[in-house]
Structure 1
Amino acid sequence: MPEPIEPFDWGRMFIHDFPLTYLGEVAFRTAFMFVILLTALTVSGKREVRQLSIYELVLLIGLGSAAGDPMFYDDVPLASAVVVFIVMMSCYKLATYISDKNKKVRHVIEGQPVYVIENGCILTRNFDREDLGLDDLFSDLRVEGIEHLGQVRTAILEPNGQLSVFQFNAEAVRPGLPILPNELKKHSEHIDQSGDYACCSCGNVQMFNAPADRVHCQQCNKTGWVKAIK
């Protein structure tokens, strides 16, 4: 039978049965996991770090784990948690300092702003490189009050995962791809009425004379179309 735990055993609470040199190993483990977390979140893409910087997210994950375990595991000494906090904060300060001083490091870890829409069309080459789906893009645009891509002059995916949207003036709005869900459901590869149609993949608008079937988009080579609106 294990011996009962003695409340407020200060030796157990702060260091348990570990030698003091174990705290050095805790510091190494913490710095190592900081690098692993930073790498994983860098690879995962902008959408995973939305609204927080990648450094802030790594810090929250690391400190959250360090703070939680000593609260209810009697064999996790408080001293280890203190070392984790000190090393995590030091790594955070060092990483942000290097990032502020070195533009290349900042671009590799935090990423750069990426143009995803220009003049009402999705820049498919840029868009496909980002961890962003059409549904996410259209959802963000709808939050900004956008009904169709013809209203959008420029949209930029920021390093923190947010979308910055710049609209045309009212008189400059052009026909564009509707992004309201019910309108998007009307897409088809068959054109049975002449008029302006928008590609469902990139928003490129083309004029069609009906009837027409499986016409490839001049910009992205896809064949799904929906009636453009203005």
Structure 2
Amino acid sequence: MDIILRASVMFFIMYMLLRLLGKRELSQVTPFELVLLVVMGDLVQQGITHNDLSMTGAALAIGTIAFWALALSWITYLSPRAERLLEGVPRVLIKDGELITPNMRRDRVTRAEVEIEMRLAGIANISEVAWAILEPNGKMSFIAKKDDGPAKQEDDDDKAV
């Protein structure tokens, strides 16, 4: 039972820690952050199993973590409120070509990161963006401004009398 309690505590500590780190995709993790994640995994394992190196202990730890991951998945599926709390909400980073700096600061997203994602989406300039949204999974979605083209002018000759 000790391993189940330890695994549960470590699961929620890691969950909260990863939520606090922000909405980053794995491809955006720096090499140093990747090494930290690997080291944290080893430290978590030591904290969960303590001195128990048995197959039973490892199976209990893995089963407990899998249980909590599945439980949270079902909770977020069944409850929109829990989904917003546990998964986060989309955040607008650009509206009508203007950066929304408070939202960017809240998720620690720099202008350079937004510009990189824009170029990957085939958008050259911030002024071309109607909406840029940071999704809960860490990806950025862009909606380009609609180009209405030049205004159509009528000739006096074409007007009906």
Post-superposition offset of 1:48:
5.6
CA distance in 1, matches of 2:112, 2:24: 13
Q: Distance in 2 between matches of 1:157 and 1:85?
A: 32
Question: Hey, what's the Cα distance between the residues in 2 that align with 1:95 and 1:50?
Answer: 24
Separation in structure 1 between the aligned mates of residue 65 and residue 114 of structure 2, nearest angstrom? 34
Determine if the alignment matches structure 1 residue 167 to structure 2 residue 144: yes
3-state DSSP class of the match of 1:46?
coil
- CA RMSD, Structure 1 to Structure 2 (Å): 2.8
1:31 lines up with 2:8 in the alignment: yes
Counterpart of 1:199? none
Separation (CA, whole Å) in 2 of partners of 1:50 and 1:157:
15
Aligned residue number for residue 83 of structure 1: 60
1:1-230 map, 5 Å: 24-47=1-24, 76-171=53-148
- CA shift, 1:79, in A, is 1.2
Letter in 1 for 2:120: V
CA distance in 1, matches of 2:42, 2:63: 14
How far did 1:87 drift? 0.8
C-alpha separation in 2, matches of 1:37 and 1:82: 19
Report percent identity of matched pairs: 26
Could you list the per-position Cα deviations for residues 155-209 of structure 1 after superposition, in whole angstroms to 9, with x for gaps in the alignment?
110001100011123446xxxxxxxxxxxxxxxxxxxxxxxxxxxxxxxxxxxxx
Kept in 1: contact 2:93–2:99 (CA 8 A): yes
As a proportion of its length, which structure holds more helix?
2
Supply the AA of the counterpart residue of 1:167: A
Cα displacement (A) at 1:27: 1.1
The change in CA–CA distance for 1:65 and 1:26 in structure 2 (over 3 A counts) is same
Does the aligned pair in 1 maintain the 2:95–2:130 contact within 8 Å? Answer: yes
Whole-angstrom CA distance in 2 between matches of 1:78 and 1:65? 17
Aligned length: 134
Distance 1:111 1:96 in 2: 13
Letter in structure 1 aligned against 2:119? R
SS at match of 1:81: helix
Higher relative contact order (CA 8 A, sep 6+): 2
Equivalent-residue separation in structure 1 for 2:87 and 2:22 (angstroms)? 9
Residues 84-113 of structure 1, C-alpha deviation per residue, up to 9 Å, x if partnerless? 111111111111111222222221221101
Aligned residues of 2:25 and 2:139 also touching (Cα < 8 A): no
When normalised by structure 2's length, the TM-score is 0.72
Note the residue ranges of structure 1 that are not aligned, 5 or more in a row. 1-23, 52-60, 70-74, 173-230
